[in-house]
Amino acid sequence: MIGGVFIYNHKGEVLISRVYRDDIGRNAVDAFRVNVIHARQQSRFPVVNIARTSFFYTKRSNIWLCAVAKQNINAAMVFEFLTKMIDIMQSYFGKISEENVKNNFVLIYELLDEILDFGYPQNSDTGVLKSFITQQGVRPVTREEQTVITSAVTGQIGWRREGIKYRRNELFLDVIESVNLLMSQQGQVLSTHVAGRVVMKSYLSGMPECKFGINDKITVENRTKNQTDTSTNGSTNPSSTTATTTTTKTAIAIDDCQFHQCVKLSKFESEHAISFIPPDGEFELMRYRTTKDISLPFRVIPLVREIGRTKMEVKVVVKSNFKPTLIGQKIEIRIPIPPNTCDVQLLCMKGKAKHKSSDNAIVWKMKRMGGMKESQLSAEIELTPNDKKKWNRPPISMSFEVPFAPSGFKVRYLKVFEHKLNYSDSETIKWVRYIGKSGLYETRS
Amino acid sequence: MSVNDRSLTTSASMNMQGFGNSSAGSNQSDEQVEPASTLSIFSLDMKKHEDIKQMLDSNKENLKLDAMRRVIGMIAKGKDAGDLFPAVVKNIVSKNMEIKKLVYVYLMRYAEEQQDLALLSIATFQRGLKDPNQLIRASALRVLSSIRVPTIVSIMMLAIRESANDMSPYVRKTAANAIAKLYALDPELKDELIVIITKLLADKTILVNGSAVQAFEHVCPDRIDLIHKNYRRLCNLLVDIDEWGQLTVLHMLTRYARTQFVDPNKTYEDDKKSFYDDNETEKNANDDEESLDKKTYIMDSDHRLLLRCTKPLLQSRNSAVVMTVAQLYYYVAPRSEIHIVAKSLIRLLRSHREIQTIVLKSITSMADKHKEIFGPFLKSFYVHSNDSSHVKYYKLEILTILANASNISTILREFHTYVLSPDKEFGAQAIHAIGRCASTIPEVTEACLNGLVGLMSKKDETIVAESVVVIKKLLQINPSQYGDIIKHIVRKVDKVTVPTARASILWLIGEYSDRISKFAPDVLRKMAKIFPDEETIVKNQILNLAAKLYVMNSKQTNLLVQYVFNLAKYDTNYDIRDKTRLLRALLFQADKCPALSKNAKKILLAPKPAPLLESIIRHHDQYTLGTLSYVIGQAATGYKDLPDFPPEPSDSSVRNVEIIPVSTSQHDSSRNPKKGTTPGGKKNTGIDENFFSDEEEDAEDASTEGPDDEEEENEEDEEEEEEEESDEDDEEQSIENKNKTNEYEQLDARSPTIVENQPQNSESSEEEEESEEDESESEESTDEDEQV
């Protein structure tokens, strides 16, 4: 029941306007511009109500996207739709920018027409959309293509069409985790969690059924239970306890996870099995979150000393806390310093450190750092006397990339079953890669 | 070369061609030119359209396509392209799908304005509706129903009725979508449409269900009786419907449950309460009564079905679906089960800022009612420095709601860091939140007050001001114990400069002057000196202070009070002048109004009710959670409250279906071939439930299920391998992972033999690995044999 969708540039000029319903007047476009884009208000609620018309908006790099509604609709749905729309546009022409939107007017208009019918969101799977909304010129559509499109659009499985063929059946799994940390200055972990994603690139023929196994605590425990049950009754207690201890070491507790629409949720609910027919190409199979037993790849130990009113000493130690054989990359530590800094003297053991006066921060970069290492930066900061107010030390933030999953997440297996075509699980080539990235990784100083 | 580049260059070259070609095209288009071109005013504009028109009339397809793209581009920008109508519409017969589609887009926008001409295109759609290709049938129906021309209502009605019986589920889905459009065009057709909706609701394919329910919600939401027969099927199929359809169905089911089932908490209530109170060691004495109550309530099996079928959706990737399920549980589930939604809602806090805001707002309301469910996730609500201001406020609010005696110390420590955050307004809100915690949790009142007093020595004015205001309110709630704090605050009066804070301090002095009888007159003396420079709000309180002191201690303060009143008499603000006149009459001119003067003390020092420290954020609980009305805090068009549970449940037999729908099982097996082999038992229940609710069945006859069993074994094997390999893993990594950064490793190839054979530069030798993998596979199996 979305009444219309508008896209504006940063100045508030309308790039795209599409109205689906009569109850949205043509002046709604201007109402939003005047009241939101031109109003110099810093932060506003993401839903604005102007003259009984509600505007749901979001902003992506200078472009405003706005959905309009009058009816009483599900607010989360509208935002979910807007993000979906952004995803689709990105997959068609890359970054959302004024230039790209202008170059793709027709495409966007066509897309809007397809994904919203009378304001009701429709199937918005990029794979399917791409099969029949193309920007290729006049290419006569052959009969075969026609049937492919038809089966893609009208099929029961919205995300995969029939008759895909690859010479080599191959799949790639990326486990991408972002670690979030908030640590107090005493080194106490205030809150930490890992938000992980499993991205799969599948190049498989036919309609393969996949089964995906991870070292999730519940599945592993279920299995050990079965194992101990099936093993002969003669096996005494000690053996079963060893079994459980070894598994709990490798298993992780997943707080919560969500799946791509292809995963059969009912099966997950009942058997805790992740089985699905994957879309072709790249897609995000699952997302998960863990909060327990996270191995923090880096530790930042700040030491800030204020010497009088015009001088300050900052010492920051970074310790890497993972196997020495692994190497962390793209390490950047951002140490905020007071705005009234006039001079900074820096000394660091490794990498490069710079004082960025525009950001009021010292930025310390290291290209790579091995495991179980330690590095230190010390800075002497001279301040101009300023008695206006006390500086309230913002947290030190850090970013990095490491080649393992900090949550301990492990892919145990991914099996492919394709009954009609003649290839077996063992013929499929499978690749896994683990990437740990920093999310919001902050240490209060 | 990217798509955009290509389209740009082609359009540029097209333009050139367009001009060159125009002579050829113009012959055909002569008749069409006159009606449209007269409309445009700007000559430049006219020229431009002229050129497009010629391109449209040409017989080259790529020219036509380019022209159509430019026309649509104009529409997208909001420019008027209405005068091209005749030239565009005749292209509807084009064989090219791309052109056809763009013409459809154009038609939807302009048909309403040029109804007569639009009628010319109807025949094409009617032909399209009979096309053997289901996609063409569907799109013809979709466009036809989007043309808002009242004269074709009957044609639309006919088309929808026919398409609702179409073989292709996709066409039926489109028909369901079209119903809402036709209803908007002509509400008179309601009864006829309901017949079609009834038919579509009973459709057996998931593709249709979502749209059918949508049409139902739009046209006849009050005809809940249409749902009865379909209720169980919709519940069971819910997980398989597409995500947008799920949303509509969930909304409808929430409403359905609220009208058909009884409140699961009603008879349960007291019992539940005692359950949660257990933690606080308060067991109710009347246990027996409650257990009786508990027995009287048994949840309807259909009610249970709904809860069970919606639970898996909490794992959906669509955050709106998760939100809606949470909302369903909030309104329909018994109190003891609501907690399962918490985890999923917490997860949504990781998504985009806008959704985060909506979710937090909903959590605020849910936490207010069911504190215990979010208790374990306290840390998720800690504020991060890059949160938007709304997100911060909601988090603060939730933390305040969740505060209790056991977690208050961590929360207060957290609040303390917020107070010092650079966002001043947020700091003030945090102080306010501390005040609220102090007033609700008696154990920490003292600690909070001390903390707040400590904050008063900060340099930041807003912090000091807010602390004073909050302290004032806290003291008012319980003034007897805190004489020291009052004295401490009084000493601050010179340093505090923010008007509201000064006013608060002065009010405190006046109110509790009996406790600080030595200080009070001196403060008044100081204030009298600077009276003219103060803000109105402070002046007001100086007057109050003067009057109260005079009542308490007239001898010492008589002259001072007179002086202040005289100053106030000539103040620029009329409120101050009026107030002075009133107070003067009350205190000094007893003869004028004796009745009042006698009671001056009672009037001025009447006991004041303590203020309630209220939330800074307005709740909109009166609206249904998660809807637009709830978010914006006012009823949007078409808002209806969720009905309350009826006192008596409806007859559950209305939901019984006599015949087992065969096609659903077929469909399921087509999606899931393995399931098809399992025997479907329990036919006598008359529901197709057993196909979908795997949990029970699997538990029952796990041993009889061939394929699944096999798999389990396989997995176990894998498991063993894994364990076996785990120690070798390290070894392997030490060889292979020297300087390892982010590279793929092969999933299955892990056995030590591989590692030895493998050359170090693993990326270049993919082909080799492929062959080796088979080896490794066999290697592994032999290994495992040995182990067993």
Chain A residues within 8 A of B251 when measuring between CB atoms: 74
Mutate to test the interface with A, among B216, B722, B739, B769 (most CBs of A within 10 A): B722
pLDDT above 90 as % of chain B: 6
Mutate to test the interface with A, among B102, B315, B322, B346 (most CBs of A within 10 A): B315
- Say if residue A415 carries a ligand binding annotation: no
The pLDDT tens digits for B292-325 are: 444 456 778 888 889 988 988 888 888 899 999 9
Domain assignment of residue A164, yes or no: no
* Per-residue pLDDT, B249: 92
* Per-residue pLDDT, B169: 84
Query: Minimum mean pLDDT among A273-287, A288-302, B116-130, B659-673: which range?
Result: B659-673
Count how many domains chain A has. Answer: 3
Same domain flag for A396 and A409: no
Domain boundary among A124, A147, A163: A124
Domain assignment of residue A384, yes or no: yes
Q: Under an 8 A CB cutoff, do B324 and A74 touch?
A: yes
* Per-residue pLDDT, A143: 60
- Say if residue A352 carries a ligand binding annotation: yes
Same domain flag for A96 and A35: yes
The distance of A269 to chain B (nearest Cα, Å) reads: 6
Q: How many other C-beta atoms are found inside a 10 Å radius of the C-beta of residue B611?
A: 12
Asked whether A114 and A133 are in contact (CB, 8 A), the reply is yes
Partner B contacted by A319 (CB < 8 A): no
Query: Minimum mean pLDDT among A158-162, B151-155, B525-529: which range?
Result: A158-162
Q: Nearest Cβ partner of A258 from B61, B142, B347?
A: B347
The distance of B720 to chain A (nearest Cα, Å) reads: 10
Q: Nearest Cβ partner of B352 from A79, A220, A390?
A: A79
Q: How many other C-beta atoms are found inside a 10 Å radius of the C-beta of residue B633?
A: 14
Chain B residues within 8 A of A69 when measuring between CB atoms: 628, 636
Which of the pair, A311 or B724, is modelled with greater confidence?
A311
* Per-residue pLDDT, B197: 92
CA atoms within 13 A on the CB side of B316: 26
- Segments forming the whole domain that contains residue A310: 298-402
Domain assignment of residue A152, yes or no: no
Same domain flag for A414 and A280: yes
The pLDDT tens digits for A243-284 are: 443 444 467 888 778 888 788 877 787 777 888 888 888 888
- pLDDT band of B284, cuts 50, 70, 90: very low
- Say if residue A264 carries a ligand binding annotation: no
Same domain flag for A426 and A352: no
Partner B contacted by A62 (CB < 8 A): no
Instruction: Please name every residue paired with A401 in a beta bridge, in sequence order, or none if there are none.
Output: A329, A437
Q: Under an 8 A CB cutoff, do A327 and B740 touch?
A: yes
Closest of B557, B528, B546 to residue B584, by C-alpha: B546
CA atoms within 13 A on the CB side of A403: 23
Q: What is the DSSP letter of A278?
A: P
* Per-residue pLDDT, A115: 87
- State mean pLDDT over B165-173: 87
What's the full length of chain B, in residues? 788
Closest of B118, B133, B205, B127 to residue B164, by C-alpha: B205
Same domain flag for A384 and A423: no
- State mean pLDDT over A75-89: 90
- State mean pLDDT over A285-294: 86
* Per-residue pLDDT, A148: 64
For residues A401 and A372, give the distance between their C-alpha atoms in angstroms, rounded to a whole number: 15
Same domain flag for A435 and A333: no
The pLDDT tens digits for B230-255 are: 898 889 888 888 888 899 999 999 99
- State mean pLDDT over A378-404: 82
Judged against a pLDDT cut of 70, whether residue B514 lies above it is answered with: yes
Same domain flag for A280 and A302: no
Domain boundaries, chain B: 50-266, 671-699
What is the average pLDDT score of chain B?
Answer: 73
Partner B contacted by A202 (CB < 8 A): no
Judged against a pLDDT cut of 60, whether residue B14 lies above it is answered with: no
The pLDDT tens digits for B692-751 are: 444 444 444 434 444 444 444 444 444 444 444 444 444 444 434 444 455 677 765 443
The pLDDT tens digits for A18-27 are: 888 878 877 8
Judged against a pLDDT cut of 70, whether residue A358 lies above it is answered with: yes
* Per-residue pLDDT, A240: 40
Closest of A206, A200, A159, A279 to residue A427, by C-alpha: A206
For residues A26 and A48, give the distance between their C-alpha atoms in angstroms, rounded to a whole number: 17
The pLDDT tens digits for A407-434 are: 888 888 888 888 777 777 778 888 889 9
* Per-residue pLDDT, B577: 92
- pLDDT band of B179, cuts 50, 70, 90: very high
Partner B contacted by A330 (CB < 8 A): no
The pLDDT tens digits for B56-77 are: 888 788 888 888 888 888 887 7
The pLDDT tens digits for B454-464 are: 887 777 777 88
Partner B contacted by A163 (CB < 8 A): no
- pLDDT band of B617, cuts 50, 70, 90: low
Residue B747 buriedness (CB in 10 A; 0-12 / 13-18 / 19+): buried
Chain A residues within 8 A of B244 when measuring between CB atoms: 77, 120-123
* Element housing A357 (H / E): none
Q: Under an 8 A CB cutoff, do A77 and B134 touch?
A: no
Q: Under an 8 A CB cutoff, do B747 and A430 touch?
A: yes
Judged against a pLDDT cut of 90, whether residue A67 lies above it is answered with: yes
Query: Minimum mean pLDDT among A2-11, A256-265, B39-48, B764-773: which range?
Result: B764-773
For residues A116 and B24, give the distance between their C-alpha atoms in angstroms, rounded to a whole number: 39
Q: Tell me which CATH homologous superfamily contains domain B50-266.
A: Leucine-rich Repeat Variant (1.25.10.10)
Closest of B525, B530, B521 to residue B497, by C-alpha: B530
- pLDDT band of B46, cuts 50, 70, 90: low
Same domain flag for A287 and A415: yes
Same domain flag for A325 and A290: no
- Say if residue A70 carries a ligand binding annotation: no
- State mean pLDDT over A200-211: 87
ipTM of the complex: 0.70
Domain boundary among A124, A158, A179: A124
Positive or negative: CA dihedral B625, B626, B630, B635: negative
Mutate to test the interface with B, among A266, A287, A440 (most CBs of B within 10 A): A266
Strands (E), A253-373: 256-259, 274-276, 281-290, 298-307, 311-320, 327-336, 341-348, 352-356, 361-370
Instruction: Please name every residue paired with A233 in a beta bridge, in sequence order, or none if there are none.
Output: none
- CATH number where A63 lies: 3.30.450.60
- pLDDT band of B499, cuts 50, 70, 90: confident
Quote the tokens at residue A29: 């476009």
- State mean pLDDT over B395-408: 88
Partner B contacted by A16 (CB < 8 A): yes
Q: Under an 8 A CB cutoff, do A154 and B134 touch?
A: yes
Domain assignment of residue A397, yes or no: yes
Domain assignment of residue A262, yes or no: yes
* Per-residue pLDDT, B260: 87
Q: Under an 8 A CB cutoff, do B3 and A135 touch?
A: yes
Q: Under an 8 A CB cutoff, do A138 and B389 touch?
A: no
Q: Could you tell me which chain A residue has the CA closest to the CA of B148?
A: A22
- CATH number where A196 lies: 2.60.40.1170
Query: Minimum mean pLDDT among A212-226, B552-566, B758-772: which range?
Result: B758-772
Judged against a pLDDT cut of 90, whether residue B270 lies above it is answered with: no
pLDDT above 70 as % of chain B: 71
For residues A160 and A183, give the distance between their C-alpha atoms in angstroms, rounded to a whole number: 45
* Per-residue pLDDT, A158: 66
Residue B64 contacts by C-beta under 8 Å, 6 or more apart in sequence?
B55, B56, B58, B91, B94, B96, B99
Residue A43 buriedness (CB in 10 A; 0-12 / 13-18 / 19+): exposed
The pLDDT tens digits for B437-482 are: 888 888 888 888 888 888 877 777 778 888 888 888 887 777 666 6
